Amino acid sequence: MSHDEATPGFFTANLEEVAGLIQKSSMWPVTFGLACCAIEMMATASSRFDLSRFGMEVFRASPRQADLMIVAGRVSQKMAPVVRQVYDQMAEPKWVLSMGVCASSGGMFNNYAIVQGVDHIVPVDIYLPGCPPRPEMLINALLELHKQVRTEPLFQHRRDVIAAVERAALEAPPLSHQKGLLK
């Protein structure tokens, strides 16, 4: 193929691939351990599981230096504004991993004090089930997130995508109004 016959999107496609590769290889997580799942999250950084081979060797204490939030454990109503504030302070683009059944859906704590899913507070990219999930499961979820990040379009604003998802969730009818689900 000659230089003149090159496809018009060739440079853009290659730029997106390189940017995706760079983003996935340089994620810095902000630690947000709230319960027993945090112990398993900390274990992934140990020498046995070695999270540093994925470029994530340091969990950041400052949200301004992080682009991945791992919410590990149950989120209380009192802690919900703090989770949102940390998320808002993180650099763009940013991703959220919900670790454990308590963070994903409230788990066994079906009461007024616990948020029934961190997705009510921040948009979640990956849900990791388990009570608590093993470090191997967290590493697998991070690899799945890396696949998502690597294939994301470069020039598409992530904030617009998240806003569209949040709008759709707000406009969706509650489950009790859907036909035949609850009796």
Q: Hey, which of 33-37, 65-69, 124-128 has the most confident mean pLDDT? A: 124-128
- Say if residue 85 carries a ligand binding annotation: no
Instruction: Determine the Cα–Cα distance for residues 81 and 103; give it in Å rounded to an integer.
Output: 15
Confirm whether residue 37 is marked as ligand binding.
yes
Look at 43-52, 78-87, 171-180 and tell me which has the smallest mean pLDDT.
171-180
Q: For the residues 30-49, what does the mean pLDDT come to?
A: 83
Residue 106 among known ligand-binding residues: no
- Residue 181: is its pLDDT beyond 50? no
DSSP character for 53? G
Contact partners, residue 148, CB within 8 Å, separation at least 6: 95, 125, 126
Any known ligand binding at 131? Answer: yes
Q: Hey, where are the domains in the chain?
A: 25-175
- How do beta strands 29-33 and 95-99 pair? unpaired
Residue appearing with tokens 């470090």: 135
Output the six-digit token pair for 30. 């902000």
Which residue did the predictor score with more confidence, 73 or 24? 73
Each residue of 16-31: pLDDT tens digit?
Answer: 677 666 666 667 888 7
| pLDDT score recorded for residue 94 | 87
CATH architecture of 25-175: 3-Layer(aba) Sandwich (3.40)
First to last CA, the chain: 64
The 3-class SS string of 11-26 reads: HHHHHHHHHHHHHHHC
Between 32 and 104, the more confident residue is 104
